[in-house]
């Protein structure tokens, strides 16, 4: 949270600002301090053998288990994007979503639509918990929320709707991190940061250094990342291996060697890249047959008309320009 907030790219109050005054209270540092105090685990693997262990176990104030896999996107969505700065309320929202099988990015943006519509006040964490609890019941509002961000916005007449291909945007403002913004607009998945994580080159300076505020170079990095990600996903590897692979020139050849070892014959880097390209081509073909056109490869209009403070960066790619990010 603190890193992206300092970069001015933490979407705040439904993508109105890039910095949140309450960032410190919902930061990874605060989360770790709470775990140290209350018990739980700061590192936790989702399967035996993972040496990264990106997950954790989070307890409440009384030291009782509250949630796990309490990660950045969830904390951003129910936190900065809704102006909620109480980490325990956000942990309860995460738990509610886990219990009902709801995606936290989609539901956080859905709650932002409820705030835009005046059903919940901005910053009211307890109000969010009360509304989330309605999903999965016969409550009419719960039935609307359960259909996600775009549906909820339509039901309430909200026109500032952060979705691409009806999938809600994640935790990096595309105007300040254009490498991932191009991915949101063009990936066949809809607004999916994991499909081409340009945050690496724009903010973390991992696998290259491209200015996230300018257009130059960001279509290219998004396209390359989308291909690499499709290859990693197709291999069944956790996407977090991509950081290591991107940061070392031996990374991609090493992945090709892993495949060689598995299938018992030579497998080249070109074949690995080709697998990523073919995977994306299949997905794009699926979308085309489902009725999507090039005009759907664009961010919602408000990103094109509003500048993002504090760096006052905008979004002026045309849908035609963005086609270059597709295979
Ligand atoms: S998501 Fe990936 S990095 Fe995180 S615990 Fe699971 S395998 Fe490890």
8 Å CB contact between 166 and 143: no
Same structural domain, 161 and 183: no
pLDDT at residue 160 is higher than 90? yes
Q: What is the pLDDT of residue 244?
A: 84
> Closest residue (by CA) to atom 2 of ligand 1?
238
Q: How confident is the model at residue 246 (pLDDT cuts 50, 70, 90)?
A: confident
Pick from 45, 24, 89, 5: nearest CA to 238: 45
What distance, in Å, lies between the first and last C-alpha atoms of the chain? 32
pLDDT at residue 247 is higher than 90? no
Q: How confident is the model at residue 224 (pLDDT cuts 50, 70, 90)?
A: very high
Same structural domain, 159 and 199: no
pLDDT digits (tens, 9 = 90+) for 286-304: 999 999 999 999 999 999 9
The mean predicted confidence, pLDDT, of the chain is 96
Q: What is the pLDDT of residue 298?
A: 97
User: Phi-psi category of 236—alpha, beta or left, where left has phi over 0 and alpha has psi -120 to 50?
Assistant: left
Pick from 198, 193, 243, 187: nearest CA to 77: 193
The residue range of the domain holding 212 is 173-325
Closest ligand 1 atom to 238 CA: 2
CA distance 237 to 269: 16
Number of domains in the chain: 2
Ligand 1 pocket check: which of 48, 49, 53, 245 to mutate, most ligand atoms within 8 Å of Cβ?
53
Which position has the token pair 């999916």? 192
Same structural domain, 182 and 91: no
Q: Which of 167, 199, 218 is the last residue of a domain?
A: 167
- Angle, helix 87-100 to helix 104-116, in steps of 10 degrees: 120
pLDDT digits (tens, 9 = 90+) for 84-143: 999 999 999 999 999 999 999 999 999 999 999 999 999 999 999 999 999 999 999 999
What CATH number does the domain containing 287 carry? 1.10.599.10
Mean pLDDT for the stretch of residues 50-77? 96
Pocket, ligand 1, Cβ cutoff 6 A: 45-47, 50, 52-55, 238, 240
Q: Which residues pair with 67 in a beta bridge?
A: 58
Whole-number Å distance, alpha carbon 217 to ligand 1 midpoint, is 30
Ligand 1 pocket check: which of 55, 57, 241 to mutate, most ligand atoms within 8 Å of Cβ?
55
Whether this model's ipTM surpasses 0.95 comes out as yes
Closest ligand 1 atom to 50 CA: 8
CA 9-15-20 angle, 5° bins: 55
Q: What is the pLDDT of residue 47?
A: 84
Same structural domain, 70 and 202: no
């Amino acid at each position: 949270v603190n890193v992206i907030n300092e970069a001015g790219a933490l979407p705040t109050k439904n993508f109105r600002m890039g910095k949140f005054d309450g960032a410190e209270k919902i930061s990874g540092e605060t989360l770790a301090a709470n775990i140290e105090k209350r018990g739980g685990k700061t590192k936790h693997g989702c399967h035996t053998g993972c040496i990264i262990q990106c997950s954790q176990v989070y307890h409440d104030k009384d030291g009782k288990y509250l949630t796990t896999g309490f990660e950045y996107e969830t904390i951003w969505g129910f936190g900065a994007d809704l102006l909620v700065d109480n980490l325990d309320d956000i942990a309860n929202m995460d738990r509610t979503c886990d219990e009902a099988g709801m995606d936290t990015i989609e539901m956080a943006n859905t709650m932002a639509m409820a705030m835009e519509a005046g059903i919940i006040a901005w910053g009211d964490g307890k109000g969010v918990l009360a509304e989330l609890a309605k999903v999965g019941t016969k409550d009419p509002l719960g039935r609307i929320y359960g259909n996600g961000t775009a549906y909820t916005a339509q039901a309430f007449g909200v026109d500032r709707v952060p979705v691409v291909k009806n999938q809600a945007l994640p935790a990096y403002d595309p105007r300040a991190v254009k490498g991932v913004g191009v991915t949101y607009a063009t990936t066949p998945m809809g607004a999916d940061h994991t499909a081409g994580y340009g945050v690496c080159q724009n903010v973390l300076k991992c696998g290259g250094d491209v200015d996230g505020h300018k257009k130059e170079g960001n279509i290219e990095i998004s396209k390359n990342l989308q291909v690499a990600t499709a290859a990693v996903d197709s291999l069944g590897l956790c996407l977090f291996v991509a950081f290591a692979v991107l940061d070392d020139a031996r990374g991609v050849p090493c992945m090709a060697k892993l495949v060689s070892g598995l299938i018992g014959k030579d497998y080249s880097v070109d074949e690995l890249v080709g697998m990523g390209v073919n995977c994306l081509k299949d997905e794009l073909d699926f979308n085309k047959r489902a009725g999507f056109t090039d005009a759907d490869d664009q961010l919602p209009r408000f990103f094109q008309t509003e500048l993002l403070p504090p760096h006052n960066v905008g979004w002026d790619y045309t849908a035609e320009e963005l086609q270059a990010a597709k295979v």
